[in-house]
Chain A
Amino acid sequence: MSPLLSWAVTATLLLYVLSMGIGLLRMLRGPSAQDRVLALDFLYVVGMLIMLVLAIRYDSAMYFEGALLMVLFGFVGSVALAKFLLRGEVIE
């Protein structure tokens, strides 16, 4: 890995972590419950992007499966939380 790519990966990870911090602030502060669910979904997506960048950083395809699992679990979690906000029940 060239120094340029290594530097770019580090800068990208820093930007992602900064964004996750802002999203975490929104999740902790969010005026309503749906704001918190939205911020949690955003955190899941950024976590998935971090896994993909780590796959480039460590040159390993194993991180890809972790990223795929994060997409699926983030979807299931967000839909379950939104359904709970909608009806007060997750499974009827």
Chain B
Amino acid sequence: MNLPPIPEIIVALLLLCSGIVVLIAALGLWRLPDFFSRMHAPALASTLAAWLVTFGSILHFSTRGAGLALHVWLIIIVLSITAPVTTIVLARAALFRRRRAGDDLPPPLSTTAEPPAR
């Protein structure tokens, strides 16, 4: 019995872990009760799962290509810039819509904050 080379085992483990993490994120998206708690689940897919797949990809292409294959890192950079922006804009849209619908939500900070003491 011959074992596959060590990098392939690590790549396979990273891929499987990312698949399980994405499944957990999807289950959270399906099971959590409220929109604002549901927003937490997909962040698992866009951070941890993307990091795992990126490390697996870098390892895979570095062991069989020529030199380090760091271009996949670009996806992590772009994703870590764009994912918070999407989340914040979507959360503000949800707050706005639910305030308009008359739900019981905390009031906006700009109208309740005391003026700063001089």
- Chain A interface residues toward B at CB < 8 A: 1-5, 7-9, 11-16, 18-20, 22-23, 25-26, 32-35, 37-39, 41-42, 45-46, 48-49, 52-53, 55-56, 59, 61, 64, 67-68, 71-72, 74-75, 78-79, 82-83, 85-86
A15 is contacted by which of B4, B23, B72, B86 (Cβ under 8 Å)? B23
B15 and A9 within 8 A (CB): yes
B8 and A2 within 8 A (CB): yes
Interchain nearest-CB distance for A28 vs B (Å): 12
The total of interchain contacts (Cβ-Cβ below 8 angstroms) comes to 157
Main secondary structure of the interface of B (DSSP, over half): helix
A82 and B42 within 8 A (CB): no
Which residues of B sit under 8 angstroms from A19, Cβ to Cβ?
Answer: 22-23, 25-26, 45
A52 and B86 within 8 A (CB): no
Which residues of A sit under 8 angstroms from B56, Cβ to Cβ?
Answer: 56
- Chain B interface residues toward A at CB < 8 A: 4-5, 8-9, 11-13, 15-16, 18-20, 22-23, 25-27, 29-30, 35, 38-39, 41-42, 45-46, 49-50, 53-54, 56-57, 60-61, 64, 69, 71-72, 74-75, 78-79, 82, 85-86, 89-90, 92-94, 96-97
A22 and B30 within 8 A (CB): yes
Given A42-B45, A49-B45, A82-B89: A68 touches B15 (CB 8 Å cut-off): no
A32 is contacted by which of B74, B89, B97 (Cβ under 8 Å)? B97
A42 and B79 within 8 A (CB): no
- A-B contacts, 28 listed (Cβ < 8 Å): A2-B5, A4-B9, A8-B12, A8-B13, A11-B16, A13-B19, A22-B30, A23-B26, A33-B97, A35-B35, A37-B90, A37-B93, A38-B29, A38-B35, A38-B42, A41-B86, A48-B79, A49-B22, A49-B53, A53-B15, A61-B71, A71-B82, A72-B78, A72-B82, A75-B78, A75-B86, A82-B86, A85-B96
